[in-house]
Chain A
């Protein structure tokens, strides 16, 4: 029976939905769940995962999307700051691992050329696994995380000459040829379009298109880069990463991240499933002794080497093991290398299959080791708890949702005092004007949990909801309350009814949008009518206090839902407050009047 792509997709998704929650339920983590689902689908399981080139392509898209979104989080400035980690530390890691593994393999009796090849291939680590594990544990911002990521970036670059090398030494048919000039041209093209063209395109679509179109454009961007890079033989992930970096300083960054997130997650899941499916259980069961020995040798050696590198990089003691585990597996890229080498007769068929199996198993072992490291770290937690807390938080403490007339004034007050708020707005015109004034404004719908998350809600302290639409305000508040309960919420209320609504939703700081402005103008009316400026201010203050008092009282009655007594009380309180205000307003000036009157009388008696 011939199955089409959609059927495969269905089977894969079903496996995902069934197995991954189970794996998570038993504390095995998402990555391991996917791998298990893959094994279940693979040739030794249900055997439905044969001939899956199309799925593999989608899976690769997952990795590409991941690198794109990592690029989005690193603008050129941050990347430049990482240069030592990438080129110095990354090279160190790669050279040490490649040499160590090559020497060890030569002891196993393989030829020197083959040892060097295996050393180089196995020195690579899996970007997908490492980044996923780091994201799960929020390690990306830490010193260790940055070092791991730097090493991964360098490996992505090294992979290109490695591919060329293998195809030169062991030429075979059908390999994507690396063409130096077109490759260079493609990278330059990506940089130029990313820098100058894409920004306009995003603006244009955001302005004239609909929401889905924006998602479409984001996908088009990534797939376009992927196709281009694959055509010239450069790692598609690297191309996507460059595109991401170029868009990192764009105001659409958060929206792009949020829109691509679900695709990234799903396709990355597919990627792990395909790795699981490629585990050859038959070979494993027949040669399990040899394979487990090789696996232990490989993983043990790599961990040891990486631990050494971590020590050289001055990574703190307890973090060294994390560094080693995060980088301590074979790379998905090594599969490609192994396939090339087998095709070019550098490796025999069984050798290639064994190598593949060891790499796949090392990828499966990584999440388990990380789990072990978690348990170990949890024991030590008591001692190092304080160190962890201020690792990240490079994001702004304030997020402003909505940057119209209301949000702008608030934002300017903050900016003039050195606090750069993260601003979200869904009007691309506003964004364009505000960007000119030096604000960092991002395009996005703040009621979406993923947009808030991308804007750094997890690390922020305050969320100001300054949108002008009641529905939108309530949606943002609800979402923030649900997903980020630690945030102090401030919201703009349309009127009193809306204010009560927001109070009930648990918003701590509410301002009626026109209250203060009207009060202020009323104060000016009083002073134009001849009242002293200060006296007018005091009266306005008094009115405000009385108003809040009344509102609190009314809320109680409102909650009891008795309309008649509500109106009654409203009338009563108004009169009472009126009297109180009149009485108080006479008090203060009279005191001084009394004094001046008596002074006046003494002067008269003098005369």
Chain B
């Protein structure tokens, strides 16, 4: 299973993005969870989310980026679910824990309300905290996908193509892993 966590506060207005997601969400084994639909009050069902993540082979975060930051609910989600003592760090008994170890971690994002192309270097630096989190959790960091600004249906179709290509890569890396592990 692949968990696709989608965080957009006004998803219903982002029609082109919906179009793209529709083209993607039937990917075999993909489980789409719209965080703003599930937790509009910012109260996250931590136990349930942890169970879902643990049964996934890959975790994909899809979100629009504003001022280089993910939406507030996604940050809330990461703080609540990816907690010290469960996702990384040590538990009460002092043993190291990495509940999500070995899972692929992939970011798919695009900038909103940006009037100019972002400097690629700066782009990568924006992913640094999330990359650090992935590393602490022992997850496999995948090169993030920076989608183009969705201006019309053609771009949305192209974006969906890119997205699917990335999912394909995820599945491949997952299969690759087994011979190395054994």
Which residues of A pack against B, CB within 8 Å? 538, 541-542, 544-545, 587-588, 591
Chain A residues positioned under 8 Å from B80 (CB to CB): 588
Is the CB–CB distance between A545 and B45 below 8 Å? yes
Number of A-B contacts (CB under 8 A): 11
- A587–B83 Cα distance when bound, in Å, is 10
Chain B residues with Cβ below 8 Å from A545 are 43, 45
> Chain B contacts of A542 at CB under 8 A?
43
Query: Cβ of B95 < 8 Å from any Cβ of A?
Result: no
Q: A545-B45, A588-B80, A591-B84 are in contact. List 8 more A-B contacts (CB 8 A).
A: A538-B43, A541-B41, A541-B43, A542-B43, A544-B43, A545-B43, A587-B83, A591-B83
Nearest CB in chain B to that of A580: its residue: B47
How near does chain A come to B42, taking the closest CB pair, in angstroms? 8
B170 → chain A closest CB, angstroms: 31
Complex Cα distance, B36 from A240, in Å, reads: 54
Residues from chain A with a CB closer than 8 A to the CB of B43 are 538, 541-542, 544-545
11 residue pairs from A and B, CB less than 8 Å apart = A538-B43, A541-B41, A541-B43, A542-B43, A544-B43, A545-B43, A545-B45, A587-B83, A588-B80, A591-B83, A591-B84
Return B83 CB to nearest CB of chain A, in Å.
7
A320 to chain B, nearest CB (A): 38
- Residues on A with C-beta less than 8 A from B84 are 591
Closest to B86 in A: A587
How many angstroms from the CA of A281 to the CA of B43 in the assembled complex? 78
Residues of A within 8 A of B41 (CB): 541
In the docked arrangement, what's the CA distance between A511 and B144, Å? 43
Q: In whole angstroms, how far apart are the Cα atoms of A544 and B84 in the complex?
A: 25
Contact partners of A541 in chain B: CB under 8 A = 41, 43
By beta carbon, the residue of chain A nearest B46 is A584
For B45, give the chain A residue with the smallest CB separation: A545
What is the bound-complex CA distance between A591 and B83, given in angstroms?
Answer: 9
Residues of chain B in range 37-71 having any CB-CB distance to chain A below 8 Å: 41, 43, 45
Complex Cα distance, B45 from A542, in Å, reads 9
Shortest beta-carbon distance from A532 to chain B in Å: 15
A591 to B80, CA, bound (A): 11
**What are the 8 A-B residue pairs with the smallest beta carbon separation, nearest first?**
A541-B43, A591-B84, A541-B41, A545-B43, A591-B83, A545-B45, A538-B43, A542-B43
Q: How would residues 25 to 44 of chain B score, 1 for a CB under 8 Å from any chain A CB and 0 otherwise?
A: 00000000000000001010
Q: Within 8 Å CB of A588, what residues of B?
A: 80
List the B side residues contacting A587 at CB < 8 Å: 83
Distance to closest chain A CB from B143 (angstroms) = 31
Residue of B nearest to A584 (CB): B46
A594 CB, nearest partner CB in chain B, Å: 8
Between B43, B80, B83, the greatest number of chain A beta carbons within 10 A of the residue's beta carbon is seen for: B43
Closest to B83 in A: A591
Given the complex of chains A and B, what is the CA–CA distance between A544 and B45 in angstroms?
A: 12
Query: Taking the nearest CB of chain B, how far is it from the CB of A68, in angstroms?
Result: 44
B171 to nearest A CB, angstroms?
35
Report the separation of the CA atoms of residues A544 and B42 in the bound assembly, to the nearest whole angstrom.
13
Alpha-carbon distance between A383 and B131 when the two chains are bound, in angstroms: 55
Contact code string B66-94 (vs A, CB < 8 Å = 1, else 0)? 00000000000000100110000000000
What residue in chain A is nearest B84 (Cβ atoms)? A591
Q: Which residues of B contact A538 (CB under 8 A)?
A: 43
Q: How far is A177 from B41 in the complex, measured between Cα atoms in Å? A: 73
A587 to B80, CA, bound (A): 10
In angstroms, Cα B47 to Cα A542, docked, is 12
Write out the residue numbers on chain A whose beta carbons fall within 8 Å of the beta carbon of B83.
587, 591
Distance of A338 from chain B, by nearest CB (Å): 62
Q: How far is the CA of A538 from the CA of B79 in the complex (A)?
A: 14
- In angstroms, Cα B80 to Cα A588, docked, is 8
Q: Inside 8 A of A591's CB, which chain B residues have their CB?
A: 83-84
Among residues of B, the one whose C-beta sits closest to the C-beta of A587 is B83
Report A347 CB to chain B, min CB distance, Å.
68
A545 to B41, CA, bound (A): 12
Interchain nearest-CB distance for A401 vs B (Å): 26
A602 to B83, CA, bound (A): 23
CA distance A415 to B71 in the complex (A): 29
A230 to B100, CA, bound (A): 86
* CB of B37, distance to nearest CB on chain A (Å): 16
Chain A residue with Cβ nearest B43: A541
A588 and B43 alpha carbons, distance in the complex (Å): 13
* Bound: A9/B41 CA distance, A: 64
